[in-house]
Structure 1
Amino acid sequence: MKGHTMLTTTYVPGAPNWLDLGSPDIDASAAFYSAVLGWEYQSAGPEAGGYGFFQQDGKTVAGLGPLTEEGASPSWTVYFHTPDADATAQAVEQAGGTVRVAPADVFTYGRMAAFTDPTGADFAVWQPRDTGGMEVVAVPGTLSWVELYTTDAAAAKAFYDSVFSWQTTDVQMSPELTYTVLRPSGTGEEATHGGLMQLPQANLDAGSTPEWHPYFEVSECDATLARATEHGAILLIPAMDVEGIGRIAMFLDPAGALFAIIKSAGPSG
């Protein structure tokens, strides 16, 4: 797990390659993430239906758009690289998942599709054409890890294995908690990109539901935490050190979308 944040912009199949936020108020979300992570928001123009891009130093780190699906809650959506969105949609259905948004071209940028896994967590895929994905990852202010909270870790593992063939490593975090580390097929330990864990009963009792959420790398966890709460975020997990991983905190943004921050431990950490 040491030096776990090994996302790169060399996107291999199954690696996270895009991320976007569905928000009920684009201006408010843009202002919040600008204040907390220093991002700038760039609209993609009138033909993009309200969609735009979060940028850091002129490089795209994520997307931001209005909530388009009926009954959708504000949330971050994690996209994984696929060479063939249509084949992935077929694999999702065969493995017991649901196709929420059928594969469709996004101008000449690429092809996307959105799914729900059998435990109820939403995710998406991006088949790159003109746009490969995020232009920068794994540095402060950008995506460095993705994580799945699920109600059935064994079912989730089986599902994603049949869809993406991820390689998994189980880490016993405590007697009750097994954390499964994920990496794309055919890669080594250095290419881990995320994790999955079963939601403890206490979380379920408190209303947690299966979902994927992003971790953004930060240079200072506590200062970022203070800015986030000052600008209306609700703190879910106060800043805590995770041995060998780094210092993390988790929030709901002012609209209710879940995200986390991490100051990664150095390679020796």
Structure 2
Amino acid sequence: MSSSLKLNYVEFPASDIPATKLFLEKAFGWSFQDFGPDYSAFSDQGLDGGFYQSELTSVASNGSALLVLKSNDLEHTQSVIESAGGKISAPIFSFPGGRRFHFIEPSGNEFAVWCLMST
């Protein structure tokens, strides 16, 4: 077995793939490649992945992995997410070494954004 295996791809359920794509395009400038009406992939975002048609959601409180994006300006990023239609599910809080918040995208999946603690 190779010890150089690394995370390469992540998949999320999405009840409304067009709304999820529009949100991520507006909030972060992501682009997508569709593979039929029930799957859309993204790449070059630190980790490639995709959204598949499903009524399920990926939420950390239900045991799902939480993907965390990094920002240099947490308040600005939160504002952009809210303007694009994201819902803040955990307001900005501090933890050792940084600060973060959680948000829900239009299909109900939870993500987080963090930044280094200001010095």
Query: What's the TM-score bracket when you normalise by the shorter of the two chains?
Result: 0.7 to 0.9
Task: Provide the residue aligned with 1:240 in structure 2.
Answer: 93
Structure 1 residue 257 displacement after superposition? 0.8
Task: Provide the residue aligned with 1:129 in structure 2.
Answer: none
Structure 1 residues 220 and 20: CA distance shift in structure 2, 3 A: farther
Among 243, 257, 269, the residue aligned to 2:109: 257
The reply on whether 1:52 has 2:47 as its aligned counterpart is: no
Partner letter of residue 66 of structure 1? Q
Larger Rg: 1
How many residues are treated as equivalent by the alignment?
117
Q: Distance in 2 between matches of 1:52 and 1:30?
A: 8
Structure 1 residues 17 and 56: CA distance shift in structure 2, 3 A: closer
- Unaligned ranges ≥5, structure 1: 1-10, 77-148, 150-207
Structure 1 residue 250 displacement after superposition? 0.4
Partner letter of residue 75 of structure 1? S
Partner letter of residue 54 of structure 1? F
Task: Provide the residue aligned with 2:56 in structure 1.
Answer: 73
- Unaligned ranges ≥5, structure 2: none
What secondary structure does 1:75 align onto?
coil
Task: Provide the residue aligned with 1:12 in structure 2.
Answer: 4
Would the aligned equivalents of 1:40 and 1:56 in 2 still touch at CA under 8 Å? no
Comparing both chains, which one has the higher relative contact order based on Cα–Cα distances under 8 Å and sequence gaps of 6 or more? 2
User: CA offsets, 1:102-126, max 9 Å, x none?
Assistant: xxxxxxxxxxxxxxxxxxxxxxxxx
What secondary structure does 1:16 align onto?
coil
Task: Provide the residue aligned with 1:227 in structure 2.
Answer: 80
- Percent of residue pairs bearing the same amino acid type: 21
What secondary structure does 2:62 align onto?
coil
TM-score, normalised by the number of residues in structure 2: 0.76
The reply on whether 1:61 has 2:43 as its aligned counterpart is: no
TM-score, normalised by the number of residues in structure 1: 0.38
Would the aligned equivalents of 1:39 and 1:54 in 2 still touch at CA under 8 Å? yes
Task: Provide the residue aligned with 1:85 in structure 2.
Answer: none
Would the aligned equivalents of 1:50 and 1:65 in 2 still touch at CA under 8 Å? yes
